[in-house]
Amino acid sequence: MSQIWIENGLFVTMDDSNPSFKGHMVVTNDRITYLGTESPQQLEGSVQKVDGNRMVFMPGLINTHGHAAMSLLRGYSDDQNLQVWLEQKMWPMEGKYVDQDTRAGSALAIVEMLRTGTTAFVDMYDRMDQVAQMVLQGGIRGILTRGVIGLCPQDVQEAKLVEAIAFARDWNGKADGRITTMISPHAPYTCPPAYIERFVQAAHDYDLPLHTHMSETLAEVEQNVKDYGVRPVEHLDRLGFFSRPALVAHAVHLHDSEIELLAAKGVSVSHNPVSNLKLASGIARVPELLRAGVTVSLGTDSVASNNNLDLFEEIRFAALLHKGVSGDPTAIPAMEALKLATVYGAKAIWQQDHIGSLREGMKADFIAIDLEQPHFYPKTDIISHLVYSGSGRDVKHVWIDGRQVVRNGECTLLDEEKIRYEAQASFERLLQA
């Protein structure tokens, strides 16, 4: 039995019944077994004590949309029109990927995510076995899905679907439950309707959730109307997509009726503010989505359109952007912004009973932030400081399933220097290939 006692820390729990307090937390194996202002009762067996002074402890952050392996393409193409970026830059490079590149890119992303306080991430890509292997090694929590583009002959479509299902079935629950899986038609504009229906059927057959890109750009919405007579939300609804637990990424261009439908069907949204700004896709109607009761979470998307994986940055953009755009300085207050990346993030991936808040019985996925820094002074409102002044660089330690995966800013299970080197080598090979 492994036990950790965090002594005299400031705890930001994201549990509304007990939002923050100065006190103690005990972790036994992979779970939080005590939280309180008083010292815990005598603990049996050996206990690792952690001095919590000068630190704030909070739930690990949850990144609900990304493509980790694309980390190799950071800075490779910026400030371009979407079509040039995608068709002339991203796709040709991605087409040259071999397993080692996917592994190298995923490893780099996992290092960056862990160091900046992300403890769980959604990943949609191909060669997902490679990504899953890196999740296993890095100690992070992964919600993984093989993203399938269906613009191909029927036999290739068939093979991809079989692969996506096989991956989802093989890996679901692996790594002591740290890995869960979904299945994913890439987007309504890259998958014919009949093909999307096959995914919906498979999701029913194998009891899997669905994930896809939806209504990211106006052009895509207009094309959907042209091709199928309806906008993407109604299109996916007709195809049965929302009859399963579903997480949609982006959801930038929505009418009121579409927001209502997403709320009614319990669809989760991954809001990707930085990526949407960088690619000039638009600004999602997050205040309206939240008011309608939709579960909104945060994603970075890939670094190719971000260009980093620091979820504190998405939190800050979410808190600030929607104030400026709506003209309402009370839109998305600090606590709500922090929830997007924690409790709502957990709910978006159907894991709110395990992660996203610090409560007794929950999984011990938490981070420690160094408070002794000028940008956290004076000590006024800790939630405000985390949202408006904090950064992933302030993260000092990270635990997932009770295991310390980052210590003093360095990953404990991964060789960071080797990973940086291999990412560079992969990128150079892709350039020349």
Out of 82, 136, 263, 413, the residue judged to bind its own copies by CB under 8 A: 82
**Two tokens at 354?**
């395990």
**Residue with Cβ nearer its own copies (366 or 427):** 427
Out of 5, 34, 85, 199, the residue judged to bind its own copies by CB under 8 A: 85
Q: For residues 132 and 143, give the distance between their C-alpha atoms in angstroms, rounded to a whole number.
A: 9
Cis before 172 (ω within 30): no
Chain centre distance of CA 257: 27
Q: Name the minimum Å distance from CB 300 to its own copies.
A: 11
Window of 108-116, 178-186, 198-206, 230-238 that interacts with its own copies by CB under 8 A: 108-116
Residues with Cβ within 8 Å of 130's Cβ and at least 6 positions away in sequence, in order, are 69, 99, 102, 103, 106
Using alpha carbons, list the distances in angstroms from residue 319 to 59, 209, 325, 339: 19, 29, 11, 11
Single-letter residue type at 319: A
| Beta-strand pair 366-370/395-400 | antiparallel
Q: Name the minimum Å distance from CB 76 to its own copies.
A: 5
Task: Work out whether 279 is an interface residue with its own copies (CB under 8 A).
Answer: yes
Q: Name the minimum Å distance from CB 307 to its own copies.
A: 4
Contact of 79 with 35, CB cutoff 8 Å: no
**Two tokens at 125?**
């890509």
Contact of 75 with 371, CB cutoff 8 Å: no
Task: Work out whether 143 is an interface residue with its own copies (CB under 8 A).
Answer: no
Q: Name the minimum Å distance from CB 354 to its own copies.
A: 27
**Residue with Cβ nearer its own copies (193 or 333):** 333
Q: For residues 96 and 433, give the distance between their C-alpha atoms in angstroms, rounded to a whole number.
A: 7
Out of 149, 393, 404, 413, the residue judged to bind its own copies by CB under 8 A: 393
Report 233-272 residues binding its own copies (CB under 8 A).
Answer: none
**Residue with Cβ nearer its own copies (127 or 385):** 385
**Residue with Cβ nearer its own copies (78 or 353):** 78
Cis before 333 (ω within 30): no
Report 19-78 residues binding its own copies (CB under 8 A).
Answer: 71-72, 74-76, 78
Backbone angles phi, psi at 379, to 5 degrees: -80, 100
**Residue with Cβ nearer its own copies (306 or 351):** 306
Residues that bind its own copies (CB under 8 A): 71-72, 74-76, 78-82, 85, 108, 111-112, 115, 274, 276-283, 303, 306-310, 313, 316-317, 320-321, 323-331, 333-334, 372, 374-375, 377-381, 384-385, 388-389, 391, 393-394, 416, 419-420, 423-424, 426-428
